[in-house]
Structure 1
Amino acid sequence: MEFSWLSDLDGLPSVPPTCAPSIVASARSLLGEGPVRWAVSTSREMARQIFERVPEGGVGPAPFETLHQMAEAVVLTCLCGLADPRGAEIDGPARFAVPVEGAEAVRDFVRRGIPLERVLRGVRIGHAVLHRALRDAAPGGELPGRLTEILFELTDLLSSDMAETYVAERDRWEDSEEAVRCRLVEAIIAREGVDPASAERILDYRLDRHHVAVILWREGPAGTATSLQAWVAGLRAGCVGEGPLQVAGHAGAVWLWIGFDARPDRMAWPAGLPDGWRAAAGPPSFGLPGVRRSHLAARHCARIAVTMPASVGVCDYADVRTAALLTGDTEQARWFVRETLGALAAPDSRSARLRETLLCYLASGRSLKTAAERLGAARNTVAYRVKRAEELMGAGRPADPLEIRLALEILRFPGALDAVPGQGPGPLLRMYVKAGLAP
C-alpha cells in the first residue's frame, strides 16, 4: 500500500465518533482503531477552525455538532480511499462521494441562509486543516506529492458535489410550505413586524395565550426523527397545554411551543429523552412577544444544558435562569468567581461540596438547622463546612452575601464558563443578531 504509514495514525481516545456507525465500522475494519481516533480528533479541530473563520455557520452546540459530523464523515471516507490499494488513483466522483452527513449539513446551510460561497470557503478551510494534519503525521514531516494531488482532487470533487446539492436544496426549500413557516417563526423571534392574525393562520397555532418554548437537538449519531416524534406525542398527551407548534430549527434541531390559556406554575416534563437528544425549555410567556421571549430563554438554557448529564432530561429555564443570566459573558463571569470566592472556586470535589453547603446555608437565610435538613447532614457538619468555606475565601474578599451567592450559583454549572465552539464573539447568525441575542 502506497500510504502504509496511515495505519500508524492515532488520536485522543476520549472523543467518541459522531458520524454514521456504518462509516465508522468500515473505517475501523480497513484502518484500525488508531486512525479512526485520529480522524475524529482531526475533524473536530477542522470543525472548530471552520466555525471560527466562517462565523455565518451559526452559534451554539447544535450547528457545531452538525458540522463536526460532516467533517468526521469526510475525513474517514478520505482515509479509507487512501488506504484502499486502489485509492492512490481517483477514478471518478463515486470513489469520494459526499457522505450523507455532508448532504444533511448542506440542507441545514440552505435553511439558515448561508451563502454558497461561504459553504465552499468552509470546504477549503477543511482541506487546509486535513493537509496540515497529514503532513505533520507523515514520516519526515512531508507529504508524498501524489497524496497532495489526491487531496486537491478530493476538494474539487467535494466542492462540486456540495454545490450541486446546495442549489437543488435551495430550489426545493424556497418553494416549500415548511420554509414559509420557518421564515415566519424566524421573523417573530427577530422581532420583525408580524401580523398576529396572519401568523395564526399560517402556523395553525393560537398566539393569544401563554407559550412554553422547547428546543431539542441531536447529540451524537443516535438521535432519530422517529424516536423524537414519539417523545413529542407523549409530551402532547401528558400536558394540559395545546399544540405543540413544531418547526424545523437550525442544525437538525427542533423548535416547539406549547400553548396554555392559564399560565402554568411549573411544567411536568416526561422523564428522560429519546437516545441521542437533548432539550431545553424556556419560561411561560404571553402572546406574540412571548413566543420570542420563551424561545430565546430556552437558547440561554441550552447553553447550560450542554454542561449537564443527558440523564437530567429537559433542562428547565426556571432551574438555571440565574446561572444563565450570570454566564452570558463568560470572561466577566470567570473574573467575578475568582475575585469573589478565591480558593473556594477550586475545581476539586472537596471545594465543590463546601460550595454546595455554603450556597444552601445562604439560601436558607443563614439557618444552620434549615440547611442541615435540606442537605441531609448534621448541623455541626454544616457549621464546619461553612466555616471552612469562609476560610478558603480568605480575608479581604467581598463580605456581601449576595455577591457570594451569585458566584456560587455560577459554579453550580462550572462547564458554562468553558469556551464552547460557536459561542464566542463575532458576527453570528443573522436572525439572532436581529433578535438582540448577540452584538
Structure 2
Amino acid sequence: MGFGMSRLQAAILFLMTMISKPAVFGSRLIGDYMKNLKSVFAYFLPSCRADQVLSQALVAPVVLELAISKVGEKEVAWGLELSQRSLAVAKSKFSYLDSFPDMEVLKSLELLMLQLLVRMSGHDADVGLSESMRAMAYKAVRMDVYFESIVQGIRETQGLWTKEILDSLDISIERQNISQLVMMLALVFDDAVKDFFEGCLAEKELLLEESLVSKRRLVEELIEGGLSMGSEVVEAFKSNLGVDPDKFYTAIIISSARAASKANKYTLRVIGELISNSSLVHLPQADGAWLWIATGTPPLKRQISNLTTSLKSAEIGIYCLGETVRGIEGFRRSHVQARALLELGKQYSVGRVLQWPTHAAMAIFIRNKELTDWFVKSTLGELASTDQKVESYRETLKSYLLSGNSLMHAAESLGIHRNTVVYRLQAVEDILGKPIKEFDFSLSCALALLDLKPRD
C-alpha cells in the first residue's frame, strides 16, 4: 500500500500494543497517558473495545483536522457528526484497514450534508442535530487543546520516568544510561502517535480519491453531453451516483480566488463535501469544487436567497449557482450555467455570488470577448465615451431603462428635474441617430457590459 501505509501499520501496531497491555511498561505515567489517548478516541468512536479503537479510527482524523485547524465551532460540530455517522459503517466494514467501504462511507455523509444545506437555507426545524449531539459537538470544540496537551505530555513527563519502566521490562542497564533510554522511548512513542494520525489522514484521502474515480467519469461524461439519456444511463445515474434522477438539481461551483494553500485546499474539500446533500462532489482542480444540491421539490426563492446570503459572507472565493432544473438533463444544464457564470466571475468584478438567470445575459455575452466589444461599440457609438457630459447622458439612459421607461422614476432616482431627464434623453437619441425605444433591450445589455470592470 506504499510508504504511508507501512508507517501507519507500524504506528498502529505500536500503539495497540501499549493500549492493550499498558502494564507491560510498568509505569503509571505511561498508563495514564494511554488512558488519556483512549479517551480522545472515545469521543469519536464510542462503545469500542481498546483493541478495536485504532483499527477503526480512520474517520477520526477528519474531526481532529477540523479541530486542530480551528475553523470554528460549527465546523467541528458538523465534523463530529460526520465521524459518528461513519462509525456505524466502519465498525462492520473495517478489518484493520485492509478494506474500505467506499460507497457506504460516502453515503453516510448524506444526512450531514442535508443538515448543513437546511441550516444555510434557513430551515433549522426541518433537519437538525439532536440536543445530545449538539452538546457533544460543542464539547469537542476544545479537542484541539486537549489533543495537543496529551502529545505535549510525552515531553513533560519523560524526565520523571524512573528505573521502574526498565525493571518491568527485565532490562539490566547502568543508571547513567536510563535517562537516555527513556528519552529514546518517548521519542519513539511521540513519532508513533504522529505517524498514526498523519497516516490515517493520508490513507483516508487516498481511498476517498480512489472511490470517486467512477463517479467522476460518469459526472464528466454527463456534463459534457457525451451520453444519451437512455434507460441504461438513467440506471447508472441512480446506482453509481446514488441519487434519484427525478429530483431537482441546483449546481454550485466553488472557485478559490487565489492559489490554494494546503489548508485552503483541505477547507475547500470539506466545504464541497458538506454543502451538498448528495455524494456528488467533484474536484477538477486544486482551487475549485463542483457540487449539486438535490431536492425533492424546487427550492423556494427565499431558500435560495438565504443560501446566497450565507455564501456572500464566506471568504473562499467565487460561488456560481445554476438554476434549479429537474432530472438528468437538469443536472447537466444547471452545471453548464454555473460554469458560464464562473468565467464571468473570473474575468470581471461582478460580486462573489453569481446566479442564473440574474447574470445570464452577461455570462453569455462574455463567452466571446471580441464579439462583446464589437457589440458594445456598435450599439453605443459615441455614447461609450469617457467624456464627463456623455457619462451623465449614459447614467440617465440607464436609470430610464431600469425604471421601465418612466421619466418620473428616472428623475427621482437621479435626484434631478424631469425636464433635465427629457433633455438628456434627447441628446442620447441625437448621438445614437435613432429613437431609444427601437432598441432599448440592446442598449440595456450594452450599458451593463460597458460597466463590467476586469477583475484584478
The alignment's TM-score, normalised by the length of structure 1, stands at: 0.47
Higher helix share: 2
* Structure with more contact order per residue of length (Cα contacts < 8 Å, sep ≥ 6): 1
Q: Normalising by the residue count of structure 2, what TM-score does the alignment of the two structures yield?
A: 0.45
Q: Greater Rg, structure 1 or structure 2?
A: 2
